[in-house]
Amino acid sequence: MTEPVTALLEELLKRIAADVPGAVGAAVSVHHHGLPLHVAAAHGLAAVFVAAQLDEFGGPVVTAGDTGLPVVTADVFADERWPSLTLTTLLERHPGTDWLRVRGVAALPAPWDTDGRLVLSVTLDRPATEETLKALRRHERFTAMALVVAEAARPDRTEQMLDLLQSRAALEEAKGIVIALRRCDPDEAWETLRRASQQFNVKVRELAVALVELLAGAPAPQPDGDRTIDPSPAARVAAEQVLRAFEPGRVELTGP
């Protein structure tokens, strides 16, 4: 990433940390096209702490990236889910860092394009709670868009940026539909779309557009040209199945 874009992400993380009580650091980690999760930008103690999780010990950020589910821990060094992530080990491997300030962690995974996931995380000097996750959700969408800008800043990535923006818009519309019909939170809405796309073997962005068009009874608003998302017949069948799953008495998706 270019220096101005990295500075933009770091400033965003600084503001997120200021918005979360007890935060001593914040980070955004990403994986894309099957590549391993890596730190895109970090602020405060999270710069070392998240890298240590990804490279050596595992931890909340790794678990959130692998499962696609939010992770909250009240005391990360005493949490049995990550036995290798201990205060003693970090003090030995990374001396000079004030690890005594670290206690709770919250990690929120979210899609940032159709092929990648981000994990927005905060490191706290107190237990993390569901309220911590709520604070992260307030910043999730802007963080995802900042990553799109970061991707576009790479050489010869203008076309990809436009594709990402278009895919992101379709996903947000479809997530809104699922949230309204299922009365769920954004994480569950995204998981519903992702699971359906895998089950029916269709691209999630095509499923998203098909869902919007099925509910509206009209073509989804899209720009003209090569970037128009045209759902396949399989994606339209998948959209019908998703809507049927929200009918009374129906809780599971049914494959073709």
DSSP string, 132-186: HHHHHHHHHHHHHHHHHHHHHTSTT-HHHHHHHHHHHHHHHHHHHHHHHHHT--H
147 pLDDT more than 90: no
> What are the backbone dihedrals phi and psi of residue 157, each rounded to the nearest 5 degrees, phi first?
-115, 15
Q: What is the pLDDT of residues 34-69, one digit of tens each?
A: 788 999 899 999 999 999 999 999 999 999 999 989
More confident residue, 11 or 1: 11
CA distance 61 to 211: 31
Where do runs of H (alpha helix) occur along 53-157? 60-67, 87-93, 130-152
- Tokens (6 digits) for 193: 């779309």
More confident residue, 149 or 102: 102
Q: How many CB atoms lie within 10 A of CB 178?
A: 24
Instruction: Report pLDDT for 87.
Output: 95
- Mean pLDDT, the chain, integer: 82
Instruction: Report pLDDT for 165.
Output: 53
Highest-pLDDT range among 115-119, 158-162, 169-173: 115-119
Instruction: Report pLDDT for 125.
Output: 97
Percent of the chain with pLDDT over 70: 79
**Is residue 59 helix, strand or coil?**
coil
The confidence band for 176, taking pLDDT boundaries of 50, 70 and 90, is: confident
